[in-house]
Amino acid sequence: MNSRVPIIVEWDACGETRRGEAQTRVVGPYGCLVVLPQNLEIDQRIQVTNLVSRQANPAVIVWRGNERAEGWELGIELINPEMGFWGLDL
C-alpha cells in the first residue's frame, strides 16, 4: 500500500537525542519505507512517532537504499507495534 504518513524519527547519536521529520513512502503493519535526510546505520534502534495519531513505537533500521535528492531511503521495522499504528486499513 502506498501511503504517506508524516512521522518523526528519533535516535541516539553520541549520547544526544537527534530527530528528523519525514513522510512514509510505503507502510505495512510491521514497518515502513521512508526517505530521511540523515543516513542511519542498519540495526540502529530508533523511535518512530506517527504525527497524525501521536502514537510512538520503537523500531530498527533494517534496510538502507540509495541516496536521493531529499535524503536516504530507509526501511524501518516496528518492534511489537500496536495494530492500527498507521491509522490506515492495511
Alpha carbons 88 and 20: distance in angstroms, whole number: 22
Please state the φ and ψ torsions of residue 55, each to the nearest 5 degrees: -85, 140
Alpha carbons 18 and 38: distance in angstroms, whole number: 10
Q: Is 40:11 a contact under the CB 8 Å cutoff? A: yes
3-state secondary structure of 18: strand
β-bridge partners, 71: 68
Specify the pTM: 0.91
Class of the CATH domain delimited by 6-78: mainly beta
Q: CA geometry: angle at 41 spanning 70 and 63, to 5°?
A: 75
pLDDT tens digits for range 29-80: 999 999 999 999 999 999 999 999 999 999 999 999 999 999 999 999 999 9
The domain spans of the chain are 6-78
Output the pLDDT for position 84: 87
pLDDT tens digits for range 31-42: 999 999 999 999
